[in-house]
Structure 1
Amino acid sequence: MIETRTWSIPLTRTPFLLGNRCLARPSSSLICSLFCVLLALPCLVHAENAEPAEERTKAATGKFGKFITVAAPLTDQVDRSVRRQAREALQAAKLKGEWPTLVFVLEAGSSELGKTLDLAKYLSSPALQGATTIAYIPEQIEGHQVLLALACEQILMAPDARMGLAGKDEASITPDIVSIYQEIAGRRRTVPEALVLGMLDPKYEVWQVESPMGSSFVLKEDLEAAREEGAVAEEIVIPAGEAVFFTGAEARTELGFVQRLASSRQEVASALNLSRESLEETVSIEDDWLPVRIDLQGPLTEKRIRQAQSMLETARREKKNFICFWIDSDGGDPAESLSLAGVIASLNPSEVRTVAYIPRKAHGDAVIPALACDRIVLGTEASFGGPGDILMTDEDLPSLNAGLKDIAEKKFRSPRLCQSLIDPSIELLRFEKQLDDLPLQRFGTKEEQEAWEADGWKVAGVVVKQGELLQLTGQEAMNRVPLAWETAESFGDFKRLFGLERDPTLIEPGWIDTLVEALAHPAVATFLFILGFTAIWTEFQTPGLGVGWLLGGICFLLFFWSHYLGGSADWLEILLFIAGAFCLVIEIFILPGFGIFGLTGGLLMLSSIILASQTFLFPADSYELKQTAQTMLSLMVAGVGSIAAVVLLQKVLPYTPYYNRLVLTPPESTSKSMSGLNQGPSAEEQLIHQVGKAVTRLAPSGKARIGKKVYQVMAEGEFVEKGTEVRVLEVRGSTIVVRSQEA
């Protein structure tokens, strides 16, 4: 359909009379003008049709922007990274011929004055005059981190984010500090100077005054001058002696120094009309991409997922900065797919770029690893989402939705949109809102509709009905909903998108990967624990053989080796375990009795095993919480299994011939050994109720002198120190059981 426009054409009129009306007679110039218009009409119609397409393209891509995270506390490394990213963004915008928008995301915390002042001067210097600088505060900033917000041209905050207490890290606010804040605030004039001083030092009292010139903020000492200039209304904003924080909502609606409110980076990008690529962190590349490829094709079984995790760790060890996941699958194991996605999402986006390439299909849980990647590239007619090989049950969906929500938020995607790909119970709605003449959209459910409509959002349509799964083609995933970054007809097109000159190196599982995968399996790891602890306990009961030490050492060596190659253990965990074992040796053989070294050694060894079983220190999301629970369960099973094995050895095996051959016992005379049981009690049995003295520490096994001979004995109950008198209680086979006389 061709839209019509009204064109204004100047006419030369020659008046003539017709009755009492004065009319205009068309001249020759009018005829020429109309003729020219008719000739130009096809061009105008073509331009009319082309213009909306150009506008649609511009709306889809957005303006050039860059999100740059400023961590707190600010270090020299963070400062260099911020400057490098800003410099690279300016150069990239210059090559594209666009005006860049730099959004500095200020993380929660505070920093030293010297470092923040240097960076604030850079942000407000001529070096960034070729860009629009914006400070975004998603949570809370305090201390001298506030100085960085003042150095930007605009400030955006989350509604419940807070900003204030700029001077909290200073024992006293000196005139030099005041002048620093006045200088930075004066460069941008983003926040009124009186409010800046009120956030810096509680001694300042700040008033808001209304005058014919408008609203302004003044200090108490300047209030009289404001009255003389015609102030008609006054209101105290910051009372003297009060340290203040301003929320984003207050700063926007009451104070006016926050230009927009945004709860997430996505909302910031939408509000500023920035491209989707602006949300991504910059990867530090010294020379070029170092690309590798990991295939996820066919059924995603537990074995296939664990191989992929092992190959991913191989890529990390080799410092690869571009990982392509080639996905062509109908899924297979939702829990394992979520586990792999958690590992992918945990990769530092400033060190490695992860891309999911889906030329044909990703159905069922196969979409979960793709959603954890930084970018998704689909074939034009590829199928993304929809039913897979495994039907996810109502019991599976809550944990999958929780994990997928965490992953989507990490990758700046709509959680509800991602969940609708695997959960048919979700009726997905698209909401729209106009903010400063810019159209915004988000995705949610009917349960969220009332709250969102109260905030100005309106339902724009149903994306997928309840009882169905969201299923998209490549084009739909890029244009209908914001999931795909780009489409590619072939892998050659994929390589051109990222400037790859050669095919990424394909990582395939080898025999070592298979062995590592098997040893790192929770069931095998638990068995290694049980066998290792039991072997070491056996060595304590039969000192001198060394078999227990050897077998226990091999078990723990295999455990740490498999987890080291699997990526969950590093030298820290290994050194912690060695230090713990060393503390136990000190407790048992060198400084017995106090228990400090024993307790410390046990805690160190336990900590090393827990850390070696997972890739994080403390759980930060539902996936990591689940993995921590699995680790603790494995340790509990290993502990119970070890105790059961020890009890079995202590109660049953001492009476078996095989075990007797492993136990060191005092040599018996040949005549005794040949005489059989009918010759009366053995020499050991004659020792019952006799008193002797421990010649070594009994922990619980050791040696004691009874009569004129030294016997291998085992203490019952508490350990017995060297030199303590002991009484023989009983003889179990060839084992002499004693107890301290002091007990």
Structure 2
Amino acid sequence: MHKLCTAILFHLLLFAAAVSVRGAEISAREEAAPYAGATVYLLPIREDIMPATVRQVTRCLEEATALNASCVIIDMNTYGGVLDAADSIRTMLLDYPALTIAFINNQAASAGALIALAADSIYMRPGASIGAATVVDGSGAVMPDKYQSFMRSMMRATAEAHGRVPSAERGDTVWRWRRDPQIAEAMVSPSTAVPDLADGTQVVTLTADEAIAWGFCEGKASSVEELLALAGIDDYTLYEYAPSWLDRFIGFLTNPTLQALFIILIIGGIYFELQTPGVGFPLVVAILGAVLYFAPLYAEGLAAHWELLLFLTGIVLIILEIFVTPGFGVLGILGIVAMITGLAFALIDTALLRYVPTGELPVSVVLGPFLIVIISAGVGLLLSIWFGNRFLRGKSGLRRRVVLVSDMKPADGYVSVAADRGLTGREGITSTPLRPAGKVVIGGRHYEAAGDDAAFIGKGIAVIVTRDENGILYCRKKEA
């Protein structure tokens, strides 16, 4: 019995020592921070937490490491963002060897609360708040519980990563969590009760004073300079992260309005290229629109390989429908569906879909991007039809620049073949597909031919010549 008690006591002491390691490491960093000539690196975050923010934080920590910075400050004012992006930043901050400080310069809600909680120290501006980390979709609706469960576990784990710190109570030393995991969980779950703080009916959001009282904030500061003074860093050199031109350009291209415009260019370019084959310029516009649409999303980590391949597959299917299997059938429908699906899923944070419970589909997450793509595609098609009828019909100035509109009349001497070869009304067999041009065989001779009214006619089909103009036999299918 004595040995059993000794073993239990030993393991309890070992556990207490283990959970206090993280707290001791952070305390050591904070104590080592104030020294002469300190290098401080500042990263402002003033937008939603997105994959672009992950790139910024990664570059910031790399530059801070290269500068041998003793402290990295995340100056944040954000209402949340993408879940997996916040998790990536959280992991980087927890693993970073130097002191990290979160300066909540107004708001750290949802994903922002998770990131702030990962920093070694938290300072808040008077009037700032932290919390309200319930996972919601783009419309603000609460996501299914599996999302909430994942977020609760991340908040608890992040709080626990800071370990325990000793406190004296009634002459005894008691080890308490530096950041209470239960409070961190209550920021996500309204049903989590915390004595004297939350009654289990609403999620927790802490003001600056409340955060200090509950151990989620080291102090209040109105500026970075005041924060550094509170942290004991008086002699320092401050470096501030500046986004590169590429970051700004990608951010510009991912503007929702421009994304819709790129979809219009893609649809319009494809439509015009099919209406005027061989011109080339509409195809270039469509390709440029696709590159500007997918490239920034791919760089942001939103577009995956399969989404781009799905879009390209849709284009190939439409081309096959037009030039190989004339008529609007299965390939054309599948091609349109594949294009729309590829464009839409490129706008969706597919990382969220990994946490969808079996049998549940976050319709609100998927429906928005699909509506954007469908509406933009519809607008693009209507504009293309209007533009084509307005400027590429008749004798408009633009039509005269790209299409030969002058009439080469026989009276003016433009006669290259006999005006009438007596073939009108004759029957023949197509020796090549008419797409719409090709060849037919009449009486054992091959003639240049085209489908009447630009109709597509397959190879080996019986046809009747409807007219003979300028050396071309215009044909229609023979009725059965």
Query: Where does residue 373 of structure 2 map in the other structure?
Result: 635
C-alpha contact 1:694 1:726 (8 A) present in aligned 2:
no
C-alpha contact 1:519 1:562 (8 A) present in aligned 2:
yes
CA distance in 2, matches of 1:343, 1:322: 23
Structure 1 position 644 matched with structure 2 position 392: no
CA distance in 2, matches of 1:503, 1:573: 45
C-alpha contact 1:377 1:486 (8 A) present in aligned 2:
no
Structure 1 position 461 matched with structure 2 position 196: yes
C-alpha contact 1:728 1:737 (8 A) present in aligned 2:
yes
Aligned letter for 2:381?
A: I
Aligned letter for 2:114?
A: A
1:516 to 239, 244, 250: 250
C-alpha contact 2:54 2:89 (8 A) present in aligned 1:
no
Structure 1 position 555 matched with structure 2 position 304: no
Structure 1 position 312 matched with structure 2 position 74: no
Superposition pairs of residues 179-190 of structure 1, within 5 angstroms = none
CA distance in 2, matches of 1:517, 1:640: 26
Judged with a 3 Å threshold, the aligned counterparts in structure 2 of structure 1 residues 325 and 556 are, in CA distance, closer, same or farther, namely farther
Q: Report SS of the residue matched to 2:377.
A: helix
Superposition pairs of residues 328-477 of structure 1, within 5 angstroms = 329=77, 337-339=79-81, 342-347=83-88, 353=94, 357-359=101-103, 361-363=104-106, 365-373=107-115, 375-376=118-119, 382-383=125-126, 385-386=128-129, 399=140, 408-412=151-155, 460-461=195-196, 470-473=206-209, 476-477=210-211
CA distance in 2, matches of 1:652, 1:692: 38
Structural RMSD (CA): 5.9
Aligned letter for 2:74?
A: W
C-alpha contact 1:526 1:638 (8 A) present in aligned 2:
yes
Judged with a 3 Å threshold, the aligned counterparts in structure 2 of structure 1 residues 370 and 448 are, in CA distance, closer, same or farther, namely closer
CA distance in 2, matches of 1:397, 1:534: 29
Aligned letter for 1:362?
A: N
Aligned letter for 1:661?
A: R
Q: Report SS of the residue matched to 1:461.
A: coil
Aligned letter for 2:43?
A: I
Judged with a 3 Å threshold, the aligned counterparts in structure 2 of structure 1 residues 506 and 563 are, in CA distance, closer, same or farther, namely farther
1:295 to 39, 44, 49: 44
Aligned letter for 1:568?
A: L
Judged with a 3 Å threshold, the aligned counterparts in structure 2 of structure 1 residues 398 and 350 are, in CA distance, closer, same or farther, namely closer
Q: Residue by residue, what CA displacement relative to the aligned partner does 1:486-533 show, whole Å, maximum 9, x if unpaired?
A: 99985599799xxxxx99985422333333222222221121112222
Residue 705 of structure 1: how far off its partner (Å): 7.2
2:457 to 708, 711, 720: 720
Judged with a 3 Å threshold, the aligned counterparts in structure 2 of structure 1 residues 481 and 649 are, in CA distance, closer, same or farther, namely same
Query: Where does residue 5 of structure 2 map in the other structure?
Result: none
1:100 to 9, 12, 15: 15
Residue 315 of structure 1: how far off its partner (Å): 5.1
CA distance in 2, matches of 1:369, 1:448: 17
Judged with a 3 Å threshold, the aligned counterparts in structure 2 of structure 1 residues 741 and 409 are, in CA distance, closer, same or farther, namely farther
TM-score, length basis structure 2:
0.57
Structure 1 position 327 matched with structure 2 position 75: yes
Residue 295 of structure 1: how far off its partner (Å): 0.8
CA distance in 1, matches of 2:231, 2:464: 80
Query: Where does residue 4 of structure 2 map in the other structure?
Result: none
Q: How many residues of Structure 1 are paired with residues of Structure 2 in the alignment?
A: 386
C-alpha contact 1:295 1:327 (8 A) present in aligned 2:
yes
C-alpha contact 1:327 1:358 (8 A) present in aligned 2:
yes
Residue 672 of structure 1: how far off its partner (Å): 5.8
Residue 648 of structure 1: how far off its partner (Å): 2.4
Query: Where does residue 530 of structure 1 map in the other structure?
Result: 264
Question: Greater Rg, structure 1 or structure 2?
Answer: 1
C-alpha contact 2:57 2:89 (8 A) present in aligned 1:
no
Q: Report SS of the residue matched to 1:635.
A: helix
Query: Where does residue 564 of structure 1 map in the other structure?
Result: 298
TM-score, length basis structure 1:
0.40
Q: Report SS of the residue matched to 2:272.
A: helix
Q: Residue by residue, what CA displacement relative to the aligned partner does 1:236-295 show, whole Å, maximum 9, x if unpaired?
A: xxxxxxxxxxxxxxxxxxxxxxxxxxxxxxxxxxxxxx56969xxxxxxxxxxxx98631
Residue 368 of structure 1: how far off its partner (Å): 4.0
Superposition pairs of residues 141-180 of structure 1, within 5 angstroms = none
CA distance in 1, matches of 2:302, 2:232: 31
C-alpha contact 1:378 1:486 (8 A) present in aligned 2:
no
CA distance in 1, matches of 2:231, 2:424: 84
CA distance in 2, matches of 1:573, 1:495: 51
Note the residue ranges of structure 1 that are not aligned, 5 or more in a row.
1-64, 66-96, 102-129, 132-273, 279-290, 332-336, 388-395, 415-437, 497-501, 676-682
CA distance in 1, matches of 2:155, 2:239: 28
